[in-house]
Structure 1
Amino acid sequence: MTVTYVIDGSRVTGLEQFWEVIGEAVNGPGGYFGRNFDALADCLGGGMGTPDDGDFVFEWRDHALSARALGHEETARYLRQSLSRVHPSNRSAFRQRLDEALAGRGPTLFDLLVETLRDGTAPGALRLL
């Protein structure tokens, strides 16, 4: 039987809230399901609350609200906060991504989350509603 996890997009007002919302969707109040992109990808691999057989879907309801909240402004904020932790060999590329986000171009956090969820689940397991 397929398990459905609901991501309430109306509650996603930024990246930190996304981590809370997806954690609660999978593992209940206060639940964890990643707090960064690598951890999310690891959680999607199993053993962190989803069925071992991979028979689950995410319904991202009100995803358009999340897309706005996780748009270029939030992406730039995230990149700016992360810049000091980036390996020196990657700083130039990272600054370029930040400049693109500040100019309203390039992939957003929403785009990256959707990509991570699609890459880590079975085809059709992410439903944007």
Structure 2
Amino acid sequence: MTVTYVIEGSRITGPDSFWSVVGEAVNGPGGYFGRNLDAFADCLSGGMGTPDDGDFVFEWRDHTVSARALGHPETARYLDRLVARAHESNRSRLREEYAQAAAGRGPTLFDRLVAIIRDRAGPDALRLL
């Protein structure tokens, strides 16, 4: 039986609220399901609250609200914070991604989250409503 996790997109105002909303959707109040893109991808690989058989779907309601909140301006802020903490070998790539986001180009955080879900959980594991 497929388990459905509801992501309430109207509650998402940035990455921090996304981590909280998805954590609660999967693991209940105060639940954890990643606090950055890499951790989120790891959580989707299993063992962090989703069924062991991988039979689950995310129903992302009001996804257009989330897409705006996780758009290019927020993506640029997110990447700018990452540059400061990144290993030297990753800084030039992150600076380029930051410049693209600041110019309103390239994938947004929303785009990246959607891609991570589809890549890790499967193309049918996400319903955008």
Shorter-chain TM range is over 0.9
Q: Partner of 2:53 in structure 1?
A: 53
- Partner AA of 1:42 in structure 2: D
Q: Which runs of 5+ in 2 are unaligned?
A: none
Q: Which runs of 5+ in 1 are unaligned?
A: none
What is the deviation of 1:113?
Answer: 0.5
Task: Report SS of the residue matched to 1:18.
Answer: helix
Q: Partner of 2:116 in structure 1?
A: 116
- The number of residues matched between the two structures is 129
Q: Partner of 2:85 in structure 1?
A: 85
What is the deviation of 1:123?
Answer: 2.8
**Contact 1:54–1:122 (CA<8 Å) still a contact in 2?**
no
Report the aligned-residue RMSD.
0.8
In structure 1, how many angstroms separate the alpha carbons of the residues matched to 2:92 and 2:42?
27
**Contact 2:82–2:94 (CA<8 Å) still a contact in 1?**
no
**Contact 1:12–1:69 (CA<8 Å) still a contact in 2?**
yes
List 4+ stretches of structure 1 deviating above 6 A: none
In structure 1, how many angstroms separate the alpha carbons of the residues matched to 2:96 and 2:72?
14
In structure 2, how many angstroms separate the alpha carbons of the residues matched to 1:94 and 1:43?
23
Q: Give the TM-score normalised by structure 2.
A: 0.96
